[in-house]
Chains A and B, each alone.
Chain A
């Protein structure tokens, strides 16, 4: 897909809603990973993701930084998920997981999803772009307008945080005294 998020957003705002399809296809894995971690329910994640995309389309006019579409989308998804949780909590069907809480399903790596969802935004976004949208570090750098070195630093820091949550955290003290 050669067009950037910014170009897609502009096309949508110029009366070409079909351009939004690119944005959906591009970001659905990352959004679903985030929502999977947040909701720990794959069907519900799909439902919330769909609602998120629809709402975001009609809110595109208010998007100030089209290059940060994914962050903005995740913000909407978080609100939609919370709304859903509030609604469902009334009949006890769903309790929204706080990011980072445990409780993995049998075949889904919800622990990882939750840990990714709980990362601070700059780190979460590089992980989502790098792994869930399949971009190279250089492409991630281009997408979020930072140097490649910043991307690798953020990834390093993200790995560190993920490992802390998931176990197998680095023992920095040991490393520092090692040599």
Chain B
């Protein structure tokens, strides 16, 4: 074998890829040729150096941060995609106004003064006629577990900028799946998992109390921005502004308010439209870090809203209670909360014992008598064994009291004792002095 042939085969040789005949030939040549042996040793040395060097790069751990950035960027791309569609649908007048606002904003924002950015956002928000948002509440403790709750919000606004209709979907609440529809004259709450043992769902209608501030966790973006602006003007909010680093990056306002210490809110504002695109809420933890507890993300502005969203699809046999026209529960008068809770519970079971379904229904959130009869006719309520000391409702955000009870009932020819806790609370804004049972039966 010549040296040239040997060198050509050296790589295959050191890689162990040579067939037996070639391997022996190369080996024999190396045994007798110092130059080729030096060459083989040099290659082997380089391979060791490459292998050693390669070990430095193992497990650099890039995948987690990369995947995290991809997820966040995907979410941002989705949002921006929607904003582009929205922009395409703007009327010429609104588009012109937006363009002027954009130019003004671009000039003003160079001064680095937060107020100007906010003013532009306040101004841009006036052109909003509809909004679709999603909300995620993180690690909400409920029923002994932690949940991430995903709620969804649609709102339509009139020419005056005030809400005309609002719909909120709450997939996970103490009442099960709940849809709240706010209109100017009434609020409809559809609870498809309610309706007693029949489970046909329950529709509760209450009079509307102005702007739906009771829609917990949600507010329309204009109200959010207005509130922030007022807080800043009144010196209650300290705002740090970060200018966008790329054309797509949002303006980031980190807000700490003197009237809610321990809470930090981060407002992400679209630099082109000036509209709020995300609001993140952080709470201070015992260790000194801020933890993200909720995120509200605007999916789109001014997209046409399907009118069917503002019509509740309630089955015929659902329980219907209208607090505007029905008298519900019992008046509290001068009784204490515990006394009225006990009284409502006692009178409810007494009504069931007497098979007075009309009264029992009135005390059970105003459930119609025919529905009560269907729900309770197969159970004979014999007597109240005991009513315990009322205690505060353990589920957070529900309110009212729970009254432990033991009642003797006959079902299918068998006598049993039913033990549970009646949940009792005020009826609501329509009948604030009256208390009713709303669960636990």
Contact = CB atoms under 8 A, between A and B. Distances in A.
A170 B8 contact: no
B74 A17 contact: yes
Contacts of A20: 66-67, 70
From DSSP, what is the main secondary structure of chain A's interface residues?
Answer: helix
Task: Give chain B's interface secondary structure class.
Answer: helix
Given A156-B8, A174-B35, A53 B66 contact: yes
Nearest to A107: B56
Contact of B65 (A50, A162, A163): A50
B51 A131 contact: yes
B70 A17 contact: yes
Contacts of A174: 35
Interface string B75-118: 00100000000000000000000000000000000000000000
A54 B66 contact: yes
A18 B74 CA distance: 12
B311 interface: no
Contacts of B63: 21, 24-25, 28
A157 B46 CA distance: 13
A49 B63 CA distance: 10
- Which 4 A-B pairs have CB atoms at the shortest separation, nearest pair first? A29-B57, A156-B11, A24-B63, A131-B50
Given A20-B67, A33-B54, A109-B56, 6 more contacts: A21-B67, A54-B70, A152-B11, A159-B11, A168-B46, A179-B3
Interface residues of A, number: 47
Contact of B60 (A46, A54, A153, A168): A46
Contact of B58 (A29, A127, A175): A29
Given A108-B56, A109-B53, A148-B17, A175 B46 contact: no
A178 B3 contact: yes
Given A29-B57, A152-B12, A162 B73 contact: no
A155 B16 CA distance: 14
B70 A175 contact: no
A57 interface: yes
Nearest to A155: B11
Contacts of B12: 149, 152
A53 B35 CA distance: 45
A33 B39 contact: no
- Residue among B2, B12, B77 with the most chain A CB within 10 A? B12
21 contacts: A17-B71, A17-B74, A21-B63, A24-B62, A28-B63, A33-B53, A108-B56, A109-B52, A113-B53, A131-B50, A131-B53, A148-B17, A152-B17, A156-B10, A159-B43, A163-B42, A163-B46, A170-B7, A178-B3, A178-B36, A179-B3
Interface string A156-179: 100100110010101100111011
B15 interface: yes
A132 interface: yes
B272 to A, nearest CB: 20
A163 B44 CA distance: 12
A77 interface: no
B261 interface: no
- From B3, B7, B11, name the one whose CB has the most chain A CB atoms within 10 angstroms: B11
A112 B17 contact: no
B383 interface: no
Contacts of B7: 156, 170, 175
Residue of A18, A20, A46, A54 most packed against chain B (CB within 10 A): A54
A32 interface: yes
Bin chain B's interface residue count. Answer: 35 or more
A61 interface: no
A174 B7 CA distance: 12
Contacts of B35: 171, 174-175, 178
A49 B47 CA distance: 25
B140 interface: no
A176 B73 CA distance: 58
Contact of B39 (A25, A36, A53, A175): A175
B146 interface: no
Contacts of B43: 159
B39 A170 contact: yes
Interface in A63-87: none
Nearest to B1: A179
Given A17-B74, A175-B3, A175-B4, A170 B42 contact: yes
Contacts of A36: 57
Contacts of A57: 66, 70
A50 B56 CA distance: 17
A156 to B, nearest CB: 4
A152 B66 contact: no
A122 B421 CA distance: 76
A148 to B, nearest CB: 7
B29 to A, nearest CB: 8
Interface string A116-157: 100000000001000110100100000000001100110110
Nearest to A149: B12
Contacts of B54: 29, 33, 131-132, 134
B308 interface: no
A134 to B, nearest CB: 7
A148 B69 CA distance: 38
Interface string B231-264: 0000000000000000000000000000000000
A24 B67 contact: yes
B36 A50 contact: no
Interface in B5-22: 7-8, 10-12, 15, 17
Nearest to A35: B57
A174 B38 CA distance: 12
Contact of B53 (A17, A112, A155): A112
